[in-house]
A and B are shown apart, each in its own frame.
Chain A
């Protein structure tokens, strides 16, 4: 079945440093979504990418979908303590309604 892996599993950064998490799928994806889960909370939808090579920005967050539509990345510029949480990617194969979540990257920001 479809597998979606994320690296790294954990990341500690000093406040103000940049952070990147990578998402890799074993199959070509129709689209990819990103979610953020604060400690003790539930996942919250951030964005969806659909097109090959697509790049979208939300303030300090930059999301990218690979040319082959099998990988994606989330980059945070100048992290803040409010960025703490676990970031998940979630991919969907074309023709399927199932959405497979990645294993997540837990971000800790040191003030």
Chain B
């Protein structure tokens, strides 16, 4: 089954304790991206990657890191989480259409992160 798998689904952590949210896709998609969803703000892009070893900042990259060492994996790293990073996080992937534009995203099930 074609899917994007995120882990964990739920995470409660303390301020400053490094954490990683994993994301893996089995569709051989070039494009992968991380979004955070907050009430009233919609989905805001954190980072995206066009291919292996190619990453770029989205609209809200501060406090986050990513890596793309393999095509299928795109982990999100919070080196020193803070309470304002409490949010619902989604990983998404897509194939690339003409001009390198992402087509419709396939989203993971989400990770609900609480930083206390």
Chain A residues within CB distance 8 Å of chain B? 1, 6, 9, 30-31, 33, 35, 41-45, 47-48, 88, 90, 92, 95, 97-104
Contacts and interface: CB of A to CB of B under 8 A. Distances in A.
A97 B100 contact: yes
28 contacts: A6-B42, A9-B40, A33-B104, A33-B105, A42-B90, A42-B108, A42-B110, A43-B90, A43-B92, A43-B105, A44-B107, A45-B106, A48-B104, A95-B99, A97-B56, A97-B100, A97-B102, A98-B48, A98-B58, A98-B59, A99-B45, A100-B45, A100-B59, A101-B44, A102-B42, A103-B41, A103-B42, A104-B43
B34 interface: no
Contacts, number: 61
B22 interface: no
A42 B109 contact: yes
SS class, residues of chain B in contact with chain A: strand
Interface of B: 31, 33, 35, 40-45, 48, 50, 56, 58-59, 90, 92, 99-110
